[in-house]
Amino acid sequence: MFDGLVQRLAAIVGPDHVTTAPGDLSNYQYDGSADSALPQVVVMPGSAEEVTAIVSACTAAGCPYVARGAGTGLSGGAVAEAGGAVIAMARLNRILEIDCANRLAIVEPGVVNAHISDAVRAHGLQFVPDPSSQAVCTIGGNLAENSGGLHCLAYGVTSHHVLGCEIVTPDGELVWLGGRAYDAPGYDLLGVFIGSEGTLGIATKVVVKLMPLQEDRRTLLAAFPTVEQASGAVSAIIASGIIPAALEMMDQLSTKAVEAYVNAGFPTDAGAVVIVELEGLRGTLEELVQDVQRICIAHGSREVRQARDEAERERIWLGRKSAFGAMGRLGSSYYVQDGVIPRTKLPEVVSEVAAIAERYGLLIANVFHAGDGNLHPLIVFDERTPGDYERTVAAGADILRACVRHGGSISGEHGIGIEKRDCMTLQFKAADLDLMARLRAAFNPRGLCNPGKLFPTSRRCGESARTVARGALAPEMVDAAGPAF
């Protein structure tokens, strides 16, 4: 298959940077999702020109290819489902330029997200998108998935923080979308490229915006008797004109699991807790803190606690970030769902999720990026129990149906990839999907660039599961990397 391609790839990148050894290939079969597939070859380019040559060689051979960053994606975007080549971008990991005066940096796609902020912190700047996997995930993957993060409520997601990128098109052309400055002439191809899950080309350089670091922040933890009351407080905070840097919610099942796991100091007798983080200039946050406290109390909060120091703040966030790992306390495996609803519909959708849990006889814990209506129901199951996983996937699909019925979306940040492609028809009609297909064909006419992703197959939403979900993560893995929730 793909006669002579491996030799040609070796000629492009050097023999040390191509592998077909089964042991090596198996390291590239997974991302953070339940899906896996073995590529036939893994190639590691060291320059944009090499990426161009690789894409041209694959195209000439009719070989499908998929670019891969750190493999932390949660929807199968970097899984080489059709076989072919994985183009691993890890060697393209240089920060090429930092321009503080113009608040931008130019980086290669394999640069780790957190390394950008690390490099500019001394200048009082930061790269804002902060997916929870930021210690390992790469900027190329962030671009592909349009990653968010806990602080995207106030500052926006990846597409708001990228000025331009150099890409290799599936035709093997090296072009710039956007640039260093704003308002490049022509269509906003950068806008559609970001979040296209690697199906429209491969980024080789990225111009990111840098934002000033904030002077001060306050972190509040409010406990509510019920999820409904907590939701009411969340909507009231937003309606009052306060956009916190982060606004998170967890239900009782989540807080109990977390407390048993890391002891974050969450009240386990509360129906829900809300975490509010406010950022701004020193000496100006007290007014907002008092407003948030007043709103929470008016909505039935029994206790609003403000973190007194950085250690207490970190403990609160550790609790929130450990929610996924803590599910291991409740069952052998869990499945993270990702859906979005208008935030005012939270109480209705939460009770629908509870009804779904009951109908399928499954345990579902809820953590929310409540500020933007992004739900992460965690469905706990036992993969050794026959039929448990199938019921889990079916319950997850029902949750997505509820999100769409309330005017929402089937993914807020994890992407469609393989995992949700058959659920696209819940949200989009044939003509809507046709528009997307036209766009893909304009960029990727032969369909070799990350095939099979994002578009529905002939299966129904909720029955596309091919493999068993990965088991619960060990605590040390959560701390080191953390799933990108």
Residues 395-424 binding other proteins (CB under 8 A) are 407-416, 420, 424
Does 191 bind other proteins (CB under 8 A)? Our answer is: yes
Give the C-alpha separation, 127 to 316, whole Å: 23
- Could you say which of 227, 454, 473, 484 contacts other proteins (CB under 8 A)? 454
Give the C-alpha separation, 204 to 172, whole Å: 12
- Could you say which of 69, 373, 451, 483 contacts other proteins (CB under 8 A)? 373
- DSSP label of 36: B
Does 157 bind other proteins (CB under 8 A)? Our answer is: yes
- Could you say which of 68, 321, 369, 401 contacts other proteins (CB under 8 A)? 369
Does 182 bind other proteins (CB under 8 A)? Our answer is: yes
Report, in Å, the least distance between residue 184 CB and other proteins: 5
Residues in 53-82 that interact with other proteins by CB under 8 A: none
Residues in 287-306 that interact with other proteins by CB under 8 A: 287-288
Report, in Å, the least distance between residue 189 CB and other proteins: 6
Residues in 84-123 that interact with other proteins by CB under 8 A: 99-103
Residue closer to other proteins (CB basis): 6 or 165: 165
Tell me whether strands 85-88 and 65-68 are parallel, antiparallel or unpaired.
parallel
Nearest in space to 77 (alpha carbons), one of 324, 69, 189: 69
CB 6 within 8 A of CB 18: yes
Residue closer to other proteins (CB basis): 108 or 166: 166
Query: What does the radius of gyration of the chain's CA atoms come to, in whole angstroms?
Result: 22
CB 144 within 8 A of CB 198: yes
Does 367 bind other proteins (CB under 8 A)? Our answer is: no
Does 165 bind other proteins (CB under 8 A)? Our answer is: no
Residue closer to other proteins (CB basis): 23 or 185: 185
Nearest in space to 116 (alpha carbons), one of 76, 86, 149: 149
- Could you say which of 212, 355, 463, 468 contacts other proteins (CB under 8 A)? 212
Does 181 bind other proteins (CB under 8 A)? Our answer is: yes
Give the C-alpha separation, 409 to 339, whole Å: 6
Residue closer to other proteins (CB basis): 80 or 423: 423
Give the C-alpha separation, 408 to 420, whole Å: 15
Residue closer to other proteins (CB basis): 14 or 445: 445
Residue written as token pair 């599936």: 170
Does 274 bind other proteins (CB under 8 A)? Our answer is: no
Residues contacting other proteins: total by CB under 8 A: 98
Q: List, edge to edge, every strand of the sheet that includes 104-107.
A: 95-99, 104-107, 202-209, 162-168, 174-178
Report, in Å, the least distance between residue 99 CB and other proteins: 8
Give the C-alpha separation, 8 to 15, whole Å: 10
Give the C-alpha separation, 126 to 92, whole Å: 21
